[in-house]
C-alpha cells in the first residue's frame, strides 16, 4: 500500500476533502503533529506522498517556534529529490522557504472566497488548467506570502497576491489557498480562527458563512477532480535518488543561508 505522510499544524486544518481521494487511490494516511512529533524518525524520502498542511503561525517565527527550522531542512531534502509533495497555505510557504525564497507578511489579510487567475505556466501539471477554469472562487486564509522560488513554475494568482501556487520539479505542488477545505467543517474554522477574523477588517463569521454557502459546492467538486487527476499522475514516480543539477544549485544556496 502507498503511504501518505501528513504534516499537520492545527487539529481542524486536516486533509479535509483530500482524505477520501487519497483513500480511494490506495494510500495509507499517517499524521505527524507539528511541534509534538519528532521528524527525525521519518526519512524524508520514504513516504510516497508528503502533504504539508496549513496553520496560523509564520515561517519566519523560528525564534518562537524553533522546530520550524527542522521542518524547513527536512522538507528541503524531499524537494531536492523531487519526491511527491503537496503544500497547502503554510505548507506552500514552508516549501518556498525550503527552496530559498523569501516568505514575508503581506499587505492585507486574504480571508474569504475569491477567484484565481491562471498563472504564467501550468500546462504540465496534470488537471491544473481544468481546475483553475472550473473551481470558481476558492477559500483563502492567510496574511503571509512568498516570492516565487528560483526554478519554480508560476501556477496561479489572485487579485490580492501574485503568487498563489507554484510547481517544483515534476512532482511537487504548493498552493497558498485551501482546495482541501470541507464546508461541513466551517464552524471549526470560525471558532479556531475567531481572533484573526475579529482583527481582519470587513471579515465576519456571518459573511464567511454566506460566501461558503454560495461557493463551496463547485469549488469542492473541482478540487476533488483535480486531486484525483494529480495523484494519479504520481503513480509512475521512481525518483527517490534523482536530483537534477538546478536543484543541486538550490541546495548550495540554501546551505549558505541555514
Rounded to whole angstroms, the Cα distance separating 3 from 26 reads 8
CATH code: domain of residue 171:
3.40.50.880
Rounded to whole angstroms, the Cα distance separating 155 from 109 reads 21
Rounded to whole angstroms, the Cα distance separating 256 from 140 reads 33
Q: Are 22 and 46 spatial neighbours (Cβ–Cβ below 8 Å)?
A: no
- Neighbouring CB atoms inside 10 A of 152's CB total 24
The one-digit pLDDT tens for each residue of the chain (258 residues) are: 899 999 999 999 999 999 999 999 999 999 999 999 999 999 999 999 999 999 999 999 999 999 999 999 999 999 999 999 999 999 999 999 999 999 999 989 999 999 999 999 999 999 999 999 999 999 999 999 999 999 999 999 999 999 999 999 999 999 999 999 999 999 999 999 999 999 999 999 999 999 999 999 999 999 999 999 999 999 866 555 444 434 444 544 443 333
Structural domains counted in the chain: 1
> What pLDDT score does 58 carry?
97
> What pLDDT score does 235 carry?
83
> What pLDDT score does 186 carry?
98
**Any idea which residue has 498542511 for its cell?**
53
Rounded to whole angstroms, the Cα distance separating 163 from 156 reads 6
State the residue range of the domain holding 64: 2-257
> What pLDDT score does 207 carry?
98
CA angle 60, 65, 66 (to 5 degrees): 90
For 56, list phi and psi in degrees, rounded to 5: -85, -5
Q: Which three cell numbers stand for residue 24?
A: 480511494
Rounded to whole angstroms, the Cα distance separating 164 from 104 reads 14
Amino acid at each position: 500500500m502507498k503511504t501518505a505522510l501528513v504534516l499537520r499544524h492545527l487539529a481542524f486544518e486536516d486533509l479535509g476533502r483530500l482524505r477520501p481521494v487519497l483513500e480511494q487511490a490506495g494510500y495509507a494516511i499517517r499524521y505527524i503533529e507539528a511541534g509534538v512529533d519528532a521528524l527525525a524518525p521519518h526519512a524524508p524520502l520514504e513516504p510516497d506522498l508528503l502533504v504539508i498542511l496549513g496553520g496560523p503561525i509564520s515561517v519566519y517565527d523560528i525564534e518562537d517556534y524553533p522546530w520550524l527550522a527542522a521542518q524547513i531542512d527536512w522538507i528541503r531534502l524531499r524537494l531536492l529529490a523531487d519526491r511527491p509533495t503537496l503544500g497547502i497555505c503554510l505548507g506552500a510557504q514552508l516549501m518556498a522557504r525550503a527552496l530559498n525564497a523569501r516568505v514575508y507578511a503581506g499587505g492585507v489579510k486574504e480571508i474569504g472566497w475569491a477567484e484565481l487567475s491562471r498563472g504564467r505556466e501550468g500546462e504540465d501539471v496534470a488537471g491544473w488548467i481544468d481546475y483553475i477554469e472550473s473551481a470558481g472562487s476558492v477559500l483563502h486564509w492567510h496574511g503571509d506570502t512568498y516570492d516565487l522560488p528560483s526554478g519554480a513554475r508560476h501556477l496561479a494568482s489572485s487579485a490580492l497576491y501574485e503568487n498563489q501556487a507554484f510547481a517544483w520539479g515534476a512532482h511537487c505542488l504548493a498552493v497558498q489557498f485551501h482546495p482541501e477545505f470541507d464546508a461541513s467543517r466551517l464552524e471549526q474554522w470560525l471558532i479556531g480562527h475567531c481572533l484573526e477574523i475579529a482583527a481582519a477588517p470587513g471579515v465576519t463569521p456571518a459573511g464567511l458563512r454566506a460566501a461558503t454557502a454560495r461557493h463551496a459546492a463547485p469549488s469542492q467538486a473541482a478540487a476533488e477532480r483535480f486531486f484525483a487527476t494529480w495523484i494519479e499522475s504520481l503513480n509512475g514516480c521512481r525518483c527517490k535518488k534523482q536530483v537534477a543539477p538546478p536543484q543541486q544549485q538550490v541546495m548550495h544556496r540554501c546551505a549558505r543561508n541555514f
